[in-house]
Amino acid sequence: MDIPVLRTQNPKAKPQSEAGLGFCKRFTDHMFIMEYNENDGWQNARIQPYGPLQIDPASPVLHYAQEIFEGMKAYRYEDGRIGLFRPMENAKRMNRSAERMCIPPLDPDIQLEAIKKIVEVEKDWVPKSKGTSLYLRPTIIAEGNTLGVHAAPRYIYFIICSPSGAYYEHGLAPIKIHIEPNYVRSVKGGTGGAKTGGNYACSLRAAEDAKKHGFDQVLWLDGKKNRYVEEVGAMNVAFIIDGKLITPSLSGSILAGITRDSVLQLARDKGIPVEERQISVYELLDAYKVGKLTEAFGTGTAAVISPIGEMVFKDQVMTLGNDIGPISQFMYDTLTGIQTGRIFDEHNWTMTLA
């Protein structure tokens, strides 16, 4: 695929220091973009200066939330090279989300080429310090000029990039979780398994309320019985109970995280027993009371591993403490080590760019 590059005439100043990068607070000079229409399919791939998109105000993405996205990172190795982590998994998941949201799929090889090309163009934006990366946000939005509720005639795929530090400003510090007893994020048969904006729009109310009460994130329970653990904000969740790593199974209402999958593999490699199954909040409370719940953590590309220090369900508090558990720490060190080329990658997860 030929991807022409239209370079910006006004390059932005690169951040002076990598210390206060924050997460996705600024974007690079360029973006990848391509469009779909019914006659030509996906076409017109190009890289152009980062800037506003012009779309019809009647576009379905604005009214009916027909959109999907991905989240991945480009990492700087110690030797200066740049690597991607399991990028094909993101491309394949994009198409699974596309199928659910009636969006035309985009050949995973084309997605990968687009990702590699934008990273190559923006390579000087990939930060070098520990814990930093270039966060990539491939997105598809539905475009059109009528308000009828149906799949759109046109789509835009774009990738924007942000030099980012750690997801949490204070680094790998345990977070405080509100277990949400009322609101739900997704139900069986809904869109919870797709990476789509609507799942986030409907989660904001509970997240904002939880923040007001001093929590970092919401742990969602299932939409039917308000009983079984689903996931945490933008992360999957795992618990260490009696030495076993237990995580909710992929029932369709939670996202199939690539970090989740990698953590399960690393646990199996290490001989940690793994269980993918339903786990109720009452099982957590019981395990906590007898001292068998020793660790809990979120898994996701943005934060990698997010140790949980406290979980509150109604008036019951589970305190896991401010020390980072050994399995949480092992997962964080191993994953970030593989992602940045410091640890041997026996699963062939990384893809190094020239």
Q: Which residues bind ligand PLP (CB under 6 A)?
A: 71, 195, 231, 234-236, 255, 257-260, 299-301
Burial zone of 332 (CB within 10 Å; 0-12 exposed, 13-18 middle, 19+ buried): buried
Comparison of 30 and 260: residue with beta carbon closer to ligand PLP: 260
- H/E run at residue 283: helix 281-289
Comparison of 59 and 236: residue with beta carbon closer to ligand PLP: 236
* Vertex 81: Cα angle to 80 and 85 (nearest 5): 130
For the chain, the straight-line distance linking the first and the last C-alpha, in angstroms and rounded, comes to 18
Comparison of 71 and 153: residue with beta carbon closer to ligand PLP: 71
**29 Rama sector, left if φ>0, alpha if ψ -120 to 50, beta otherwise:** alpha
CB of 34 to ligand PLP, least distance (A): 22
* Residue 78 CA from chain centroid, whole number: 24
CB of 167 to ligand PLP, least distance (A): 11
CB of 250 to ligand PLP, least distance (A): 11
CB of 3 to ligand PLP, least distance (A): 25
Comparison of 90 and 294: residue with beta carbon closer to ligand PLP: 90
Closest C-alpha among 298, 305, 250 to residue 278: 250
CA gyration radius for the chain?
Answer: 21
Cβ partners under 8 Å of residue 13, min gap 6:
none
Comparison of 30 and 195: residue with beta carbon closer to ligand PLP: 195
Comparison of 144 and 257: residue with beta carbon closer to ligand PLP: 257
Comparison of 255 and 279: residue with beta carbon closer to ligand PLP: 255
CB of 234 to ligand PLP, least distance (A): 5
7, 12, 284 from 312: Cα distances, Å: 50, 44, 11
CB of 60 to ligand PLP, least distance (A): 21
* CA pair distance 166, 199, nearest whole angstrom: 24
CB 231 within 8 A of CB 237: yes
Looking from the CA of 144 toward its CB, the CA atoms found within 13 Å total 20
CB of 340 to ligand PLP, least distance (A): 17
